[in-house]
Chain A
């Protein structure tokens, strides 16, 4: 076998291998989806959305309280995290100098990479210890802290795609910079910013680790933000590791609902973004 044939064979073998790597990783997503739809579909019924969880052994029941609890904590987290991230993002995109900009941007990325369970400890020390109780508020604070760097970087990213001509046009008409931002730049980027924020919310809605020792769990309806609160991810965890078959069925149903929510949000966001954003003419 001559040298060239050998090189061609190596070429083809290696290129096929990289293709197989891709096939393998991508097929994992379909395996996850298929398995969840198959198992979750069997167990999902109307009661899942309307009833409280039952002890193992009793048939039926649902996770209505966990859905409400998750919505409550994620909503509260959005109220905490999104405004801070949004304003910070405006600073990064419009006002920051080189050094401050780098410092804040870099710290935001680092904070984004902190394991979520460590954020949980922080929220525990910040809220649970002073209030002497696990609470939905503590869970919301943990999720809110996670949202800040995410929404900050998203806002910055979409503001910086707004063309400079828009800024200059408004400035040339004599508007001060803050007015240009509020009436021209931010509205132009709003669609992208909102989409990014919804993606961020979808991400923290699936978080389990920071809720384990902040919001804890609850078998009943949430009775206020100062009480332990059930959430869908924590419910999936406790039900999946339990030895009971009927709890496993509930976990599958909950997993399907959670994954559907996350994937639909991601696909919809991608679709909106791909249709071109940032600049609205007219």
Chain B
């Protein structure tokens, strides 16, 4: 009797996460109704964002979000997986656990602190050195033309890359550690070098987990708000140049939500939130399944 009560009571508390998630979807869907009815699906590819004219299109934000996240992953995946390989395969145990601890601390640094540091370090660095260098080397491409302001897509991507490292490293490392010892020993016994063993045997064995870590990093990057808001320049027109200021979904929410007036304006912002929510939840769901498939113990430890 007492046990049954305990089971039901704890179940009720456990079920709150399901309830909250359902309520969250229902709420976003309901609150975004005016915008959904007015603009329909065209909202997603409308390029104009004009609160004064009550005309709203999401494309500049969707483009900014997707662009910065993909550019960030292009930077952070090779570096992150490389570091994970070093920590899981090569480093002596003491060094490995020490570095892993530091990487976990990196994940604990609040996003607003990344943003503040980026304003005062990464932005001037991009403006003075990196963007001119890129312009000199690839200036014939439209992506590397235009004024170099320091704030913009590329800077946001660099900051995002730094912020996604810890997730990619931590989860890739766990996936690599799950690879059975005999796999390595067999390859080494056949005469493979350390690198060949790692690259041709261990990494392919752990590929689902590594892919999962990339997806988790992607989900983090898509939803990252503060640091991006502080360095992307906040410009809701579309630019081909990577140096140009842009906008992301999360950044426009951070900047405009508190001051939004009128039903359509607010609901358009909520609809942006709904889009962001759906995209991140699908990517997260995929990532968790991939990680589950390799490690089979879930991601309780993952930050």
Assuming the contacts A11-B195, A157-B301, A270-B101, asked whether A113 and B280 have C-beta atoms less than 8 A apart, the reply is yes
Across the interface, B121 reaches (CB within 8 A) one of A20, A35, A179, namely A35
Residues of chain A at interface, number, CB under 8 A? 96
Bound CA–CA A267/B105 (angstroms): 8
B74: Cβ under 8 A from any A Cβ:
no
B110/A111 in contact, CB under 8 A = no
Bound CA–CA A110/B277 (angstroms): 10
Across the interface, B102 reaches (CB within 8 A) one of A15, A26, A83, A203, namely A26
B10/A94 in contact, CB under 8 A = yes
B299: Cβ under 8 A from any A Cβ:
yes
Bound CA–CA A248/B121 (angstroms): 13
B99: Cβ under 8 A from any A Cβ:
yes
Interface string of B1-18 (1 = CB under 8 A from A): 011011101111111111
A179/B2 in contact, CB under 8 A = yes
Bound CA–CA A72/B82 (angstroms): 42
Nearest-neighbor residue (CB-CB) of A239 within chain B: B116
A61: Cβ under 8 A from any B Cβ:
no
A21/B83 in contact, CB under 8 A = yes
B130: Cβ under 8 A from any A Cβ:
no
Nearest-neighbor residue (CB-CB) of A235 within chain B: B112
Assuming the contacts A10-B195, A25-B83, A104-B17, asked whether A118 and B300 have C-beta atoms less than 8 A apart, the reply is no
Nearest-neighbor residue (CB-CB) of B9 within chain A: A87
A25/B194 in contact, CB under 8 A = no
Bound CA–CA A124/B113 (angstroms): 24
A220 CB, nearest partner CB in chain B, Å: 18
Most central of B12, B14, B111 by chain A CB within 10 Å? B14
Most central of B2, B102, B196 by chain A CB within 10 Å? B102
B281/A110 in contact, CB under 8 A = yes
Residues of A91-119 whose CB lies within 8 A of B: 91-92, 94-96, 100, 103-111, 113-119
- Residues of B within 8 Å of A259, CB to CB, are 109-110, 113
- Residues of A within 8 Å of B14, CB to CB, are 87-89, 91-92, 96, 100, 104, 152
Bound CA–CA A258/B112 (angstroms): 10
B115 CB, nearest partner CB in chain A, Å: 7
B281/A237 in contact, CB under 8 A = no
Bound CA–CA A118/B303 (angstroms): 18
Q: Looking at chain A's contact residues, is the secondary structure mostly helix, strand, loop, or mixed?
A: helix
Bound CA–CA A203/B107 (angstroms): 10
B85: Cβ under 8 A from any A Cβ:
yes
- Residues of B within 8 Å of A148, CB to CB, are 16-17, 20
Most central of A8, A121, A262 by chain B CB within 10 Å? A121
Bound CA–CA A207/B222 (angstroms): 16
Across the interface, B27 reaches (CB within 8 A) one of A32, A125, A241, A266, namely A125
Interface string of B215-232 (1 = CB under 8 A from A): 010011011111000100
A114/B86 in contact, CB under 8 A = no
- Residues of A within 8 Å of B31, CB to CB, are 121, 125
Bound CA–CA A119/B112 (angstroms): 17
B198 CB, nearest partner CB in chain A, Å: 8
Residues of B254-289 whose CB lies within 8 A of A: 254, 257-258, 269-270, 273, 276-277, 280-281, 284-285, 288
Nearest-neighbor residue (CB-CB) of A216 within chain B: B258
Assuming the contacts A178-B5, A208-B110, asked whether A91 and B13 have C-beta atoms less than 8 A apart, the reply is yes
A114/B223 in contact, CB under 8 A = yes
Bound CA–CA A207/B223 (angstroms): 13
- Residues of B within 8 Å of A28, CB to CB, are 106, 162, 165
Assuming the contacts A95-B11, A104-B17, A212-B257, asked whether A118 and B83 have C-beta atoms less than 8 A apart, the reply is no
A66: Cβ under 8 A from any B Cβ:
no
B36 CB, nearest partner CB in chain A, Å: 15
A178/B2 in contact, CB under 8 A = yes
A213: Cβ under 8 A from any B Cβ:
yes
Nearest-neighbor residue (CB-CB) of B87 within chain A: A22
A11/B86 in contact, CB under 8 A = no
Assuming the contacts A18-B85, A19-B86, A107-B21, asked whether A203 and B108 have C-beta atoms less than 8 A apart, the reply is yes
A107/B17 in contact, CB under 8 A = yes
B13/A207 in contact, CB under 8 A = no
Bound CA–CA A251/B116 (angstroms): 8
Nearest-neighbor residue (CB-CB) of B31 within chain A: A125
Q: A32-B106, A115-B223 are in contact. List 17 more A-B contacts (CB 8 A).
A: A11-B193, A25-B103, A26-B106, A91-B13, A107-B21, A109-B299, A113-B219, A115-B276, A148-B16, A156-B300, A179-B2, A209-B226, A212-B258, A233-B110, A237-B115, A255-B117, A266-B105
Q: Enumerate 6 A-B pairs (CB-CB under 8 Å) in ascending A order.
A: A11-B194, A91-B13, A108-B17, A109-B284, A213-B257, A236-B112
